Structure 1
Amino acid sequence: MNLGFDVVDLGRAEHPEIGDEAPDFTRPLVNDEYWADASLSELTDDGPVVLVFHPMDGDFPATYIWQEIRDRGWDGYDAEIVGLSISTPYEHARFLEEWDMEAFRLFSDPKNGVAERYGIDHELDGMSGIEEPRPAVFVIDDDRTIRNGWVATEWPEFPPYDEIEASIEEL
């Protein structure tokens, strides 16, 4: 079957595991109207967080991942669902508005430093020095302990949504 693109092996990642403390960070957190610096620890002070790393806005995997999350009603869980990518705050605001995802917020990390801290950074094929996070999802409790995690090993690859939903329901 010709998919129209090559499946790329991303290899192994040295990411935090279940039971580890999620690395804290501070970056602009964007909704469809404005943004302000926020830290992961500030969010977990208010309750559990599902942190979704995704490719840059406009890339088909990012659009697919967020439409699936929206359509599955993850905003109805007792956890804050936030994303993170290398896209700028302006791009995030447009992305959220365009795809009718006002219930979610996205961290902007143009230099990909958070993905590096999480061990899930990867260089884009053919673009020396350009990196983005590989798709990943971490379910984090209010103590910043990772309760579930998934990290892509190939591109494109999509999260095991049912398994993640089960973890969110257990929080």
Structure 2
Amino acid sequence: MPPTPGDRAPDFESLLCTGETFRSTRLSAAFDGGGVLVFSAFAFSAIAENWWKRYDRAGWDEFDVPVLGVSRDGPYAVNAFVRYLDSPFRMFADVDGAASEAYDLLTPRSGMANASTPMRAVFVVDEERTVRDAWVADDWISPVPREAVEEAVAEL
């Protein structure tokens, strides 16, 4: 079951991509002081592109805590995606699915043999890695409740 408010957010280590470089990083190091963790499926998918553009337009890069993505793609694809979007956000390349699995979000993709991706999800995490707000999609297209995320970030 994915973490819910009050749970301790699982820590993981993966390649954190900036759009130019990538480095193996623990979530706990990247979230020193809390943050927002956004799981999405594949870079360059229409849904992922739409999401990240919305977060940028909504000013999520101006939060007092970082907003980090998690994508099942490799670091070169994730870096290319960040550059393509001209995104202010960094994203973990969850190549082996370990981060998605730690959050119990990994699900097989229908029609894509041997492919699994995380369900779309957003977690607001405080400085002690306690989940303050959590949203997990029931489908691939429902919008993220941005106002709830923004309110939870404001309360950190």
Q: Given the two structures, how large is their TM-score scaled by the length of structure 2?
A: 0.96
1:72 aligns with 2:64: no
Distance 1:142 1:28 in 2: 21
Pair member with larger Rg: 1
Deviation string, structure 1 residues 48-80 (Cα, Å, up to 9, x no partner): 110000110011111111001001111111011
User: Counterpart in 2 of 1:97?
Assistant: 83
Would you say the 8 A contact 2:124–2:133 is kept in 1? yes
Distance 2:151 2:69 in 1: 19
- Structure 2: gaps (5+ residues): none
Match runs of 1:125-144 below 5 Å: 125-144=110-129
Percent identity, aligned pairs only, is: 35
Q: Which structure 1 residue ranges, 4+ long, deviate > 2 Å from structure 2?
A: none
SS of the residue 1:139 aligns to: strand
Aligned residues: 156
User: Counterpart in 2 of 1:120?
Assistant: 105
1:62 aligns with 2:48: yes
1:36 aligns with 2:23: yes
Would you say the 8 A contact 1:88–1:108 is kept in 2? yes
Deviation string, structure 1 residues 94-125 (Cα, Å, up to 9, x no partner): 11111110x21000012212111111111111
SS of the residue 2:11 aligns to: coil
Q: How far has the Cα of 1:158 moved from its partner?
A: 2.1
Would you say the 8 A contact 2:12–2:98 is kept in 1? no
User: Counterpart in 1 of 2:37?
Assistant: 51
User: Counterpart in 2 of 1:151?
Assistant: 136
- Structure 1: gaps (5+ residues): 1-13
| RMSD, aligned CA | 0.9
Distance 1:158 1:120 in 2: 17
SS of the residue 2:78 aligns to: helix
Would you say the 8 A contact 1:25–1:114 is kept in 2? yes
1:166 aligns with 2:151: yes
Q: Given the two structures, how large is their TM-score scaled by the length of structure 1?
A: 0.88
Distance 2:71 2:139 in 1: 17
Distance 2:14 2:95 in 1: 10
